[in-house]
Amino acid sequence: MKKKKKTKKSRKGDFSNSKLFGLILLVFRKNPNKKLNYKQVSKILKVTEMGVKIQIIDVIKEMVISGKLTEEQRGSYRLLEKKSTFITNIKNTNNRGSYANIDKENEVFISKEHSQFALAGDEVEILLFQKRKKKKEGKVVNVIRRRRDEFVGIIDNSSSNFFLITDDRKIPFDVFIPPKTIKREYLNKKVVVKVEGWGSKYKNPIGKIIRVIGEINDHNTEINSILYDYGFSPEFPNKVEREANKISKEISKEEINKRLDLRKTTTFTIDPKDAKDFDDALSVKKLKNGNWEVGIHIADVSHYVEKGSVIDKEAIERATSVYLVDRVVPMLPEVLSNNICSLKPNVDRLAYSILFEMNEKANLVDYQIKKSVIHSDVRFTYQTAQDVIDNKEGKLVTELLLLDKLSKILRKKRQQNGSINFESTEVKFLLDNNNNPIDVYFKESLSTNHLIEEFMLLANKTVAKHIGFPKKDAKTFIYRIHDIPDTDRISTLNNLVKKLGHSINNESSNKLSQSLNKLLKNVKGKNEQQMVETLTIRSMAKAVYTTNNIGHYGLAFDYYSHFTSPIRRYPDLIVHRLLWQYMDGEKTVDKEVIEKICKHCSEMEKVSSRAERDSIKYMQIKFLKNKIGYTYDGVISGVTEWGLYIEIIENKCEGLVKISSIKDDHYVFDEKKYTLTGYLSKISYQLGQKVKIQIQSADLERKQMDFILV
């Protein structure tokens, strides 16, 4: 008898009132139009113990009082919740479920069982449940558009079934692979699986293997896995390559006659040492009136990539070239990106040219936009051009010194107008013949980098204003916009920097930009530099493409577009087409069509950035995997409820100190102050703080490094 009593008590103990509330609510939600009594609810929940049944009666009465249920007849209840559906995108996922935005201030949680396998970026229809404990919950009733249906990983065959274990640890499910589709050569390899069944009746999505990438832990396999995981193929489809190879490398006399012939004007490129796709070239010419003609010549990709062609369709799908640690995956086939379109030296090339008339003080007197044919005379790297400027001798010394002078004036004017002066450190790896990282170095920004930047900004701004001014009469165009910073984040930043003796003036957008520049300048070389720079960047909006021109806050430009990189950015190619159409007198194009392209390109830009970061992370782990136990000085680069992200000062490699590894106290996360603080000791770890760490583990497969504080 004791044994039975103990079992009954244990069974009842499994059901707290809170848990029963959720289970009963789920029963009624699955039967929204049915009237149910406590016996029917008990049967559905497979409850047989009388004690739990009595509990169910009590909880149902509580649900009537809280407005979840209504008593239709004595002892018979029905769901009272209002059905409210809305369409949104999934923001992020974890092992418990998903989150989606209801509006700018509110989000909804969707439990895993109600998610229909929806992932971040998916467009979904959500049924919103009434509030409970101030948290909004819902269920996905329809997945309108899935952002992805292909996943990278390895096949788990530890049981009688086969599942894809995805590389992306944010994917909260494994993909079931029917055993009859499995071949021996699929096992112990990295593969790509396409999901063919998302049915909610399944415990897992069902997929099939469509590609074997290669051997696990092989360098090329791992880099290609990153590409495939983000939807980029390292190779072009055969039909695209065939079409590209058909394009003539010769420029006809007929085409030259249609254009402004600038082949006798001294022209040159300045690019990174390892660059192969030269989008832009410069020229300088003294005018009779004493002013200078500065030419900015951009590869005329639109001449070769016809709208709607197979090359164009592939380009819009990719939307951007992807720059990984050891390779570039171009937007266009290499015969175009590295050859026909590239403004290489000593060959004639078709270009889109903006010819600026400027005086010695970098004041713009006039400009003209023309389709042209050019001939680049010299190919400089940033360093070789810098050497000419520094030594005041060498090839095209007059031209380079003039452009250096003008660009510095342009840069100063831009910053005086409120352009925010962010300077990021670019990490580079020195690789051996097997692509193993043997050293890390930081790329130095030269004045020639700023020179090119200023003239590209000038070209982009000019093109945007050429079409977009005045705004009320402007034709449909692609703008690169940057909204004003988030007010709450600026307030948080201001509260933090006040304690350090700084302040931010947020009275107007112009005063804000000026005070941010002053702040960034004042923290240079100080202990708080890392924290202030990180939080300032986080307070900024993300620059995006759109047809709605609100200006570019970060650059302090009322008009800005992307025109100067059509080989590697699809929006620039569209800008070239639109510019030519409008200059040719054609009517404005459909705004909705262009806006759709803008959204796609903005999204793909974010995706390519994540792929780039993953390749850097992979190389960092590869670099440190033989340094387990080594200690380094680091700086806290991120603070979360699960731990501290630490960036090693010496090499910029980042790892995680799990909160569970900090044993001396119980630490509490303060989201607004970006701190973890000891409950008893009051010891605090804050963003930007310097610490010493030891490398505990470096997992290449999971792309994760764990540190411990020392």
Instruction: Return the minimum-mean-pLDDT range out of 5-14, 141-150, 440-449, 510-519.
Output: 5-14
Six token digits for residue 251 = 């420029």
Give CA–CA dist 331/323, Å, rounded. Answer: 11
Residue 12, pLDDT above cutoff 50: no
User: How far apart are alpha carbons 705 and 428 in whole angstroms?
Assistant: 19
pLDDT given at position 14: 64
Report the distance separating Cα 492 and Cα 539, nearest Å.
Answer: 9
For residue 480, name the pLDDT band (cuts at 50, 70, 90): very high
Q: What is the pLDDT of residue 81?
A: 65
| Look-up of token digits 């609510």 | 25
**Beta partners for 212?**
191
Rounded CA gap, 570 and 577, in Å? 11
Burial classification of residue 447, based on how many CB atoms lie within 10 Å of its CB (0-12 exposed, 13-18 middle, 19 or more buried): middle
DSSP string, 150-212: EEEEEEE-SSSSEEEEES-TT--S-EEE-GGG--GGGTTEEEEEEEEE--TTSSS-EEEEEEE
CB contact burial 467-487 (16+ within 10 A = b; e otherwise): bbeeeeebebbbbbbbebbee
Question: What pLDDT is attached to residue 7?
Answer: 39
The residue among 30 and 539 whose pLDDT is bigger is 539
From 127-136, 267-276, 511-520, the region with the lowest mean pLDDT: 127-136
Domains, the chain, with CATH or none:
2-79 (1.10.10), 84-145 (2.40.50.140), 150-216 (2.40.50.700), 239-426+435-462 (no CATH), 471-621 (no CATH), 625-709 (2.40.50.140)
287 or 16: which carries more pLDDT confidence?
287
pLDDT at 3 over 50: no
More confident residue, 595 or 136: 595
What confidence score (pLDDT) does residue 492 get? Answer: 85
Find the mean pLDDT for residues 357-368. Answer: 96
What does the pLDDT average to over 83-93?
Answer: 84
Give the pLDDT confidence of 123-134 residue by residue, as tens digits: 999 988 755 555
3-state secondary structure of 121: coil
Beta-strand runs (E) in 12-106: 69-73, 76-79, 84-93, 97-101
Instruction: Decide if 227 contacts 215 (C-beta within 8 A).
Output: no
* Those residues with Cβ within 8 angstroms of residue 108's Cβ, 6 or more apart along the chain or in another chain: 99, 100, 101, 102, 126, 128, 136, 137, 138
pLDDT at 9: 39
Over the Cα atoms of the chain, what is R_g? Answer: 30
Q: What percent of the chain has pLDDT over 90?
A: 67
Are 339 and 349 a contacting pair, CB within 8 Å? no
Grade residue 428 by pLDDT with cuts at 50, 70 and 90: confident
pLDDT at 1: 38
Q: Which pLDDT value is given to residue 19?
A: 84
Token pair 């970026």: residue: 121
The percentage of residues in the chain with a pLDDT greater than 70, rounded to a whole number, is 96
pLDDT at residue 204 is higher than 60 = yes
Distance (Å, whole) CA 693 – CA 142: 47
pLDDT-derived band at 359, boundaries 50, 70, 90 = very high
- Mean pLDDT check: name the lowest of 303-307, 574-578, 612-616: 612-616
User: Phi/psi at 628 (nearest 5 deg)?
Assistant: -60, 135
Q: What is the mean pLDDT of residues 365-380?
A: 97
Q: Which residue's structure tokens are 């919103």?
A: 128
Q: Is the pLDDT of residue 13 over 70?
A: no
pLDDT in tens, 531-550: 888 888 888 999 999 999 99
User: Which structure tokens are listed for 272?
Assistant: 């990174």
Mean pLDDT of the chain: 91
Map residue 520 onto helix, strand or coil.
Answer: helix
pLDDT tens-digit series, residues 222-267:
999 999 999 999 999 999 999 999 999 999 999 999 999 999 999 9
Residue 421: its pLDDT value, please?
Answer: 86
Q: Is the pLDDT of residue 10 over 60?
A: no
Alpha carbon distance 148, 648 (integer Å): 34
- Work out whether strand 704-709 and strand 654-658 pair parallel, antiparallel, or are unpaired: parallel
**Averaged pLDDT, 673-701:** 91
Q: What is the pLDDT of residue 5?
A: 40
How many Å apart are CA 404 and CA 268, to the nearest integer? 14
The closest of 598, 613, 599 to 322, measured between CA atoms, is 613
pLDDT at position 102, please? 84
Which strands, in side-by-side order, build the sheet including 675-678? 667-670, 675-678, 684-686
pLDDT at 11 over 60: no
What predicted TM-score, i.e. pTM, was given to this entire model?
Answer: 0.84
Distance from C-alpha of 554 to C-alpha of 541, rounded to nearest angstrom: 9
Mean pLDDT across 109-120: 90
Other C-beta atoms within 10 Å of 645: how many? 19
Q: Shortest CA distance to 647 belongs to which of 682, 617, 609?
A: 617
> Are 707 and 656 in contact, with CB atoms under 8 Å apart?
yes
The residue ranges of DSSP E strands in 417-534, in sequence order, are 426-431, 437-443, 479-481
Tokens coding 95: 């092992």
> According to the model, what pLDDT value does residue 8 have?
38
Strand partners, 351: 299, 372
